[in-house]
Amino acid sequence: MNGVVLRMVSRRIAIGALTLFLVSGLVFFMASLLPGDAAQMALGQYATPETVAMLRKQLGLDEPLVLRYFTWLGALLSGNFGTSYAAQVPVRTIVLARIPNTLMLAGAATAASVPIALVLGIVAAMVRGTLLDRVIGVLTMSVVAVPEFLLATLAVLLFAVKLHWVSAVSMNPDVSSVGEFLRSYSLPVLVLCCVVVAQMARMTRAALISQLDAPYAEMAVLKGLRPSRTVLRHALPNAIGPIVNAMALSLSYLLGGVIIVEAIFAYPGLASTLVDAVSNRDLPVVQFCVLFFSTCYLFLLLLADIVTIVCNPKLR
């Protein structure tokens, strides 16, 4: 069985690498379709056509698109992320200072949302059909239906403007105490957790209920096992696959939601850098940021597949 698991994991890794290669091509070609001339944007509207043409040649923008892609890909694989068109500095200098901030925000949201979502999903599955189950269902559906930018605005109005508990912006991610961490991260993490918790809780409930309706779970109940033991010892291990996939899909939402949250709270992360780069037609920065978010998304899905394979009781 170990050989079967190893082959399945290797196949998932190979598929993930191929998908990332295809995504890199899509990212490069889509970024090149952005309206406007990157050289013109870098030089300003008063630059002469000769100066623009010279800068295009210097940046390699006059070369065929396919050749530019493979040149960019080769440099990327060697650790060279290119040079920013707008700032004329290496992309590495711009993004390496922002990546830890974004990962810190996503990590804090993950650490807060996963336990809450699992508890809500398990409780809702155990008491399905009751008033508590309906209340959890209504609350999660209501949160999912509200866009994150509206949640962020309401959170700022309530906790920052009305109650003065926290700051409306999170411009200083470098914290040295618990109090500073709470003041800087409370609102962004709260907004990111709302939708993520709601999605994961509903998917966890659905996965557990499908297992609780299985014959083995009914047999465990007939043998007199406690409901909590039936859920945690028997149903949960068999539902780990769908739950992990639901968690991966929900956490990958952070990659999209963090863009809006960073913009609203003025958080100096990679997502806000991406927004600025798109505005300036800074293609190397746009390509790296989008590829980084795509890599994180694929990594989460790959990790979910591997955990599902390894934790599957049938394979063990």
Please tell me the predicted confidence (pLDDT) of residue 262: 81
- Whether residue 251 has pLDDT greater than 70: yes
Name residues whose C-beta falls within 8 Å of residue 151's C-beta, 6 or more positions apart in sequence: 143, 191, 194, 195
DSSP state of 166: S
Q: Which position has the higher pLDDT, 270 or 170?
A: 270
What DSSP line would sit under 130-165, residue for residue?
SHHHHHHHHHHHHHHHS-HHHHHHHHIIIIIIIS--
Q: Please state at what angle helix 240-264 crosses helix 99-126, rounded to 10 degrees.
A: 130
Residue 312: pLDDT over 70: no
pLDDT of amino acid 28? 83
pLDDT at 41: 65
Residues of the chain with CATH 1.10.3720.10: 104-268
Q: How far is Cα 307 from Cα 81, in angstroms, rounded to an integer?
A: 31
pLDDT of residue 176: 67
d(CA 54, CA 34): 21
Q: Is the pLDDT of residue 240 over 70?
A: yes
What is the share, in percent, of the chain residues with pLDDT greater than 90? 1
Q: Which amino acid is at 7?
A: R
Segment 200-214 shows an average pLDDT of 85
Calpha distance 207→249 (Å, rounded)? 14
Calpha distance 253→193 (Å, rounded): 10
**Does the pLDDT of residue 316 top 60, yes or no?**
no
How many angstroms separate the first and last alpha carbons of the chain? 7
Mean pLDDT value across residues 129-147: 86
pLDDT at residue 252, rounded to an integer: 74
Provide the token pair at 29.
């070609």
Q: What is the pLDDT of residue 196?
A: 83
Say which DSSP state 175 is in.
-
What is the tens place of the pLDDT at every residue in 145-182? Answer: 887 778 888 888 888 888 878 777 776 666 667 777 77
> pLDDT for 55-96, tens place per residue?
777 777 777 878 888 888 888 888 888 888 777 788 888 888
Structure tokens belonging to residue 74: 């080769």
The residue that leads in pLDDT, 219 or 175, is 219
pLDDT reported for residue 279 = 79
Contacts of 315 (CB under 8 A, 6+ apart): 1, 4, 5, 309
**Fold (CATH) for 104-268:** MetI-like fold (1.10.3720)
pLDDT of residue 204: 87
pLDDT for res 38: 66
Mean pLDDT of the chain: 80
pLDDT at site 227: 78
